[in-house]
Structure 1
Amino acid sequence: RAIVLIDEVDSPNFTACLDFCHAEVMAPGDAEGFIRRLGVERIGHIHIAGGDSHPHMHRAVGTGEVDAIRLLAVLRE
C-alpha cells in the first residue's frame, strides 16, 4: 500500500521512512526483498537499528535479528 500511495502522490517531498526493524516484521526472513520492492527511489529516510521482530524491539545496531550491514548493502545495489 505504501508503494501505491507514494506513487499516487508523486512528489519528491513524499517518501518512505525505511525502518530496518519494521522491514523484518513486515517481511520475516525477506527484508531484502521488501526493500527491493519498495525501491530506493521511494525512500527518503532510513531508521537504522538492530532488534528482534518478535517481540518487536529496537536495539543497538549489531544486536538482535536485524542485520543492518546486510540491509545497507541492499540499498547500494
Structure 2
Amino acid sequence: MMIRKFAAICLVAGAAALATAGTAAASEATPGHWEVVATYPATPQGWADCWNAKVNVYKGDCKLNSDTSATVDLWAWVS
C-alpha cells in the first residue's frame, strides 16, 4: 500500500515538473528581453499603482529596485 502511494506521489510530482519545465522553455525561446517599462515610488500607493498597471504589459511583474530601494519597477517581457 505504501509503495503505491509513493509511486502515485512521484508520478504527480514528475508531471508537474515537466509542465513547469515546458512553460519555462517556451518563454525563453520567445525572442525578446526583460525591460523596466515604468517606475513608481516605493510607497503603498506606488505598489498599488504598479500592481494595477502590470495587467497591461506582457508578463508584467513589480519588483523593488535593488539599487535604491526608493522605487518599484514594473518589468515586462518586450519582444
Give the shorter-chain TM-score range. Answer: under 0.3
Greater gyration radius:
2
TM-score normalised per structure 2: 0.27
Higher strand share: 2
